[in-house]
């Protein structure tokens, strides 16, 4: 509050506030630049990694509406905050998927990558969480790390269909939540008998001594690993882009707040000067007259 013994409204409070708002503005500007420089590096890697899963979609097609008993929703979120709303959108999509894919004979579980997703999903879906992973971005994301993680998931979680949910990076200001479906080899075989894109698999000749089911198994595992790699990179890009725009709007708001505080400060200062002047002048005129 105002310091003791002050005779008029003090400008000190306003001055303190202005100092702290200015500091916040500097920090958010710096964070935006850091995010921008990191984004440049990750963006090229993300665009290159898109070529990893495109052949799979060309070969096997995408079957988002497949109806299976055991669904596992792999939600990719970030560990750090201050990145706008991307984690909330991913969690919203995951929850909607969970509702869609649970039912009398079906069940659906979560595998969560990233702290932010875990914190949000723990609140209402504790019992459906199978596994959580964190500290993924300690070193830059590389394929080896994701492959080990994918291996871990495949070995520990039973699934008929894996649904990977992440934010796809379209541009610095646009990130769309996306879902990719990967079928387990058994379900893929069933679907291939039902026809559709996967049914065309039989048109391909298989070299070597392997059977179609073996190839499907290898393909399914490799597809999961590639999709997870691409998803992790796209989500990292989206996180950096969202952080850039969040920090940008925050520095702009801090600037606006600073302007308003400056006006208040000047008004208070001028009012106190006017009061002092009137006191002096009325005192002087009282002495004369």
Partner 1 sequence: MSATTAAVPFWRAAGMTYIGYSNICAALVRNCLKEPFKSEAASREKVHFSVAKWADGKQEKPSVILVSVLRVPALHGQPGSLLLA
Q: Which residues bind partner 1 (CB under 8 A)?
A: 126-127, 129-136, 138-139, 142-145, 147-152, 154-156, 186, 189, 209-211, 213-214, 217-218, 221-222, 224-225
Q: For residues 140 and 255, which CB has a smaller minimum distance to partner 1 in the complex?
A: 140
Q: For residues 132 and 268, which CB has a smaller minimum distance to partner 1 in the complex?
A: 132
Give the nearest distance from C-beta 22 to partner 1 in angstroms: 38
Give the nearest distance from C-beta 155 to partner 1 in angstroms: 7
Give the nearest distance from C-beta 268 to partner 1 in angstroms: 53
Give the nearest distance from C-beta 139 to partner 1 in angstroms: 4
Give the nearest distance from C-beta 229 to partner 1 in angstroms: 10
Would you state the torsion angle of the CA atoms of residues 35, 236, 59, 94, taken in this order, to the nearest 10 degrees? -140
Q: For residues 21 and 129, which CB has a smaller minimum distance to partner 1 in the complex?
A: 129
Give the nearest distance from C-beta 217 to partner 1 in angstroms: 7
Q: Tokens for 176?
A: 């769309």
Q: Tokens for 239?
A: 């996180």
Beta bridge partners of 227: none
Angle at 167 between CA 165 and CA 173, to 5 degrees: 170
Beta strands 174-183; 107-113: pairing state: unpaired
Q: What is the CA radius of gyration of the chain?
A: 29
> Sign of the CA dihedral 252, 253, 254, 260?
positive
For residue 11, CA distances in Å to 15, 36, 47, 237, 261 come to 6, 38, 53, 44, 11
Q: For residues 144 and 285, which CB has a smaller minimum distance to partner 1 in the complex?
A: 144
> Sign of the CA dihedral 29, 30, 32, 33?
positive
Q: For residues 167 and 184, which CB has a smaller minimum distance to partner 1 in the complex?
A: 184
Element (H, E) at 75: strand 70-76
Q: For residues 190 and 269, which CB has a smaller minimum distance to partner 1 in the complex?
A: 190
């Amino acid at each position: 509050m105002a310091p003791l013994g002050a005779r008029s409204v003090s400008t000190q409070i306003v001055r303190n506030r202005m100092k702290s708002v200015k500091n916040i503005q500097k920090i958010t500007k710096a964070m935006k630049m850091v995010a921008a420089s990191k984004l440049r590096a990750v963006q090229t890697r993300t665009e290159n990694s898109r070529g990893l899963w495109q052949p799979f979609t060309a070969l096997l097609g995408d079957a988002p509406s497949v109806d299976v008993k055991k669904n596992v929703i792999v939600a990719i979120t970030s560990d750090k905050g201050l990145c706008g709303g991307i984690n909330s959108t991913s969690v919203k999509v995951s929850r909607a998927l969970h509702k869609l894919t649970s039912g009398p004979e079906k069940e659906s579980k979560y595998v969560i990558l990233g702290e932010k997703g875990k914190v949000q999903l723990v609140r209402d879906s504790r019992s459906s969480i199978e596994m959580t992973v964190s500290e993924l971005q300690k070193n830059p994301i590389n394929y080896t790390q994701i492959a080990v993680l994918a291996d871990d998931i495949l070995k520990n979680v039973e699934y008929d269909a894996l649904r990977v949910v992440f934010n796809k990076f379209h541009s610095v200001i646009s990130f769309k939540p996306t879902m990719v479906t990967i079928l387990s080899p058994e379900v893929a075989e069933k679907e291939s008998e039902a026809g559709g894109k996967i049914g065309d698999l039989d048109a391909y000749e298989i070299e070597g001594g392997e059977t179609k089911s073996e190839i499907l198994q290898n393909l399914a595992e490799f597809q999961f690993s590639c999709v997870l790699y691409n998803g992790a990179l796209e989500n990292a890009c989206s996180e950096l882009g969202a952080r850039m725009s969040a920090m940008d709007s925050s520095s702009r708001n801090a600037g606006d707040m600073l302007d308003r505080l400056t006006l208040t400060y000047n008004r208070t200062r001028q009012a106190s000067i006017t009061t002092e002047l009137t006191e002096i002048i009325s005192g002087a005129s009282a002495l004369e007259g």
